[in-house]
Amino acid sequence: MSILHKTALAGGLAVLLCSSALAQGLSGKVVGFSQIGSESGWRAAETSVTKAEAERLGIDLKFADAQQKQENQIKAIRGFIAQGVDAILVAPVVATGWEEVLTEAKEASIPVVLLDRGIEAPEDLYLTSVASDQVKEGRVAGEWLVGAVGDKECKVVELQGTVGSSPAINRKQGFEEGIAGAANVSIIRSQTGDFTRSKGKEVMEGFIKAEGGGAGICAVYSHNDDMAVGAIQAIKDAGLKPGTDILVVSIDAVPDIFAAMVAGEANATVELTPNMAGPAFAALDAYLNGGTVPEKFIITESKLYTPADDPQGEYDRRKGLGY
Amino acid sequence: MTRLSGIFLRPQVAALVAVLLMNWLLFPDFFDLTWRDGRLFGSLIDVLNRGAPVAILAIGMTAVIATKGVDLSVGAVMAIAAAVAATLVVGGQPAIVAVTAALAAGLLCGLWNGVLVTYLDMQPIVATLVLMVAGRGLAQLITEGSIVTFSDPVLIYIGTGAFLGLPMPVVIALALLLLTTLLVRRTALGLMIEAVGVNKGAARLVGIPARLLLIGAYAFAGFCAAIAGIIVAGDIRGADANNAGLWLELDAILAVVIGGTSLLGGRFSIPLSVLGAVIIQAMNTGILISGLPPEFNLMVKAGIIILILILQSPLAAEAFARRMPKRKTAPRERTMP
């Protein structure tokens, strides 16, 4: 996109935003973004969404890939401070060891926003943190299932994430909270599928065998979509219909689960949005232009998607994001 | 005849029977087999099917370990082969091209390891560690970090199809087992590999092409890893560069060790390594259907493995021989099938 286009776009946005008395937007501002790296499809999607959001708002985004190393992130943040950027976004790779570099940013009066992970540091060192609520994700999935089965008896098998990982612990807890009120819905088996497709398939095969060929299973709850995609194949191999004989509910909203929904093989997914930058830029806008200090913890929406939400459209929209 | 009865007296067979019995106690329908959609269907078939990739890796790993080496890169090579096959079919290439390219990629990786070990004289554990780490990165580069999902019927058939009622991965593993066992035991190849494993210098002095055999062993391990990689990709209809074959090199080495092949090189048995892979998978499947909380998975697995290794230690063999003096030749038997 040429400078001319950018300016024109930024101008158009500025006109739009000026109508609200709030602020003049972030156009022309320089924001540094220190990303962890690209360890998963979701992370790649987060990077491309952040770049797209910045472009939409006319922000000059300085992007730094830390290749999973904290020292690279600290170097990048110091670099941003030296360049005198207007704000810094960080997706921290680990929770500790940030006090020094964040103090430097604070002394330079540069607001820092944390994306999708928290850190162990005094709260005054960063403006706000934007993250999803993993417990809520599980709860939304559980509540959907309770609503979907009505008062029918429903035995659920659970595919857990990697044992001991925080999404696995929180999504399990959330789902249990979600179904706690319904006596007819219960978890009968729970095993780890390590967040991968092949383990998800293998574990589901075992569940089906152990529950009389799958006749006793009403639904599968998977801590991520990848394991659900594997489980769907296992259900098909056993001669059952995923989505009908066994309901499939999972979390993340990656493109392939929407492809399964189009085929009628998945019933619901809860989105872990890759758009952490949207709320972050909104908070920065309010802070830089209006002096409004945002809440310390901004929780992103855990949106539920079902086949009624145009899965083909969602698939097409997400396919290009690098998942 | 005595040799055959010797096979059934081996601790590995006893261990497999014990693990299967335990599965049966946990889950009474374990041995139930039904015929569905033109194939056998049941937990026992699951064990063989899920164990096939590790069994195939173990076949290649046995050849390498027999030469006193080890190949840590096979898991990463699986990911590379899966990535190559998936990206090619998604790019519109016919399946035969994709499979050939994936196998060639595996062979090339194996050759790379072999050259490092023989011509640069690197320690095998270090030489193959290079590809173990870099290989997964390479696979991620090929898939650009995402899971490449495909719908090519041939690749899917390799991963999930059935032939004569058996899952395709099982058929491939059996065919490979038969071919390699015949090749190493009906020719002098096996003896030469053992000679290189025991003493490379001496082997060379008696005229065995030691370097060629070493490179060949690593290339074969890479080739086996590529087969396993294609199977795993076909199974989930996608190449997952982050997770395909992750830590499977350790399962393969364990299978070889359970099979009784010495990590110090020399005597080896490919059928017993495959048996080792089946034991590991029988254990995994048992844990899955037992209903135990997943926190116990690794502990249970470790406990059973220690038991198996104690069972086949020289100490146990001695005790066994003392208890049954008439059969004292069986446990000491040196010739492997």
Residue A202 and residue B147: Cβ atoms within 8 Å? no
Mean pLDDT of chain B: 90
Residues with Cβ within 8 Å of B189's Cβ and at least 6 positions away in sequence, in order, are B183
Task: Let me know if residue A307 belongs to a domain.
Answer: no
Task: Let me know if residue A322 belongs to a domain.
Answer: no
| DSSP string across A244-313 | TTBEEEEEE--HHHHHHHHTT---EEEE--S--HHHHHHHHHHHHHH-PPPPSEEEPP--EE-TTS-HHH
Return the closest-CA partner of residue A30 out of A7, A62, A4, A8.
A62
Mean pLDDT of chain A: 90
Shortest Cα–Cα distance, A24 to chain B (Å): 38
Residues A112 and A161 in one domain: no
The total domain count for chain A is: 2
Residues A146 and A108 in one domain: no
Residue B144 and residue A322: Cβ atoms within 8 Å? yes
Phi, psi of B33 (to 5 degrees): -120, 135
Task: Let me know if residue A93 belongs to a domain.
Answer: yes
Residue A3 banded pLDDT, cuts 50, 70, 90: low
> What would the pLDDT profile of B107-141 be if each residue is shown by its tens digit?
999 999 999 999 999 999 999 999 999 999 999 89
Residues A36 and A110 in one domain: yes
Q: Which residues pair with B41 in a beta bridge?
A: B34
Residues A19 and A143 in one domain: no
User: Which comes out higher in pLDDT, residue B9 or B197?
Assistant: B197
> What would the pLDDT profile of B254-282 be if each residue is shown by its tens digit?
999 999 998 999 899 999 999 999 999 99
Q: Which domain holds residue A8?
A: 3-132+274-292
Residues A115 and A203 in one domain: no
User: Which comes out higher in pLDDT, residue B263 or A23?
Assistant: B263
Task: Let me know if residue A48 belongs to a domain.
Answer: yes
Residues with Cβ within 8 Å of A299's Cβ and at least 6 positions away in sequence, in order, are A131, A132, A133, A136
Q: Please state the rounded mean pLDDT for residues A99-104.
A: 96
Residues A20 and A126 in one domain: yes
A39: nearest CA in chain B? B145
A256 touches B: beta carbon within 8 Å: yes
Shortest Cα–Cα distance, A280 to chain B (Å): 25
Instruction: Give exposure, A230-254, as e/b (b: 16+ Cβ within 10 Å).
Output: bbbbbbebbebebbeebbbbbbbbb
Residues A8 and A128 in one domain: yes
Task: Let me know if residue A138 belongs to a domain.
Answer: yes
ipTM of predicted complex = 0.88
Q: Which helix (H) or strand (E) holds B169?
A: helix B168-185
Please give the DSSP secondary-structure letter assigned to residue A40.
Answer: S
A189 touches B: beta carbon within 8 Å: yes
Residues A192 and A65 in one domain: no
SS3 B252: helix
Please give the DSSP secondary-structure letter assigned to residue A242.
Answer: B
pLDDT of B104 higher than 80: yes
The two three-digit tokens of residue B271, written as one number: 């059928």
- CATH number of the domain within which A138 lies: 3.40.50.2300
A168: nearest CA in chain B? B294
> What would the pLDDT profile of A197-245 be if each residue is shown by its tens digit?
999 999 999 999 999 889 999 999 999 999 999 999 999 999 999 999 9
Task: Let me know if residue A82 belongs to a domain.
Answer: yes
- Chain B positions touching A321 (Cβ under 8 A) are none
- Taking only residues 56 to 85 of chain A, the set having a beta carbon closer than 8 angstroms to any beta carbon of chain B reads none
Residues A206 and A259 in one domain: yes
Of A192, A259, A322, the CB nearest to B145: A322
pLDDT of A57 higher than 80: yes
Please tell me the class of the B10-23+39-318 domain.
mainly alpha
Q: What is the pLDDT of residue A1?
A: 45
Cα A179 from Cα B218, distance rounded (Å): 53
Return the closest-CA partner of residue A254 out of A166, A323, A187.
A323
Task: Let me know if residue A317 belongs to a domain.
Answer: no
Cα B221 from Cα B44, distance rounded (Å): 27
Q: Please state the rounded mean pLDDT for residues A51-71.
A: 92
Residue B4 banded pLDDT, cuts 50, 70, 90: low
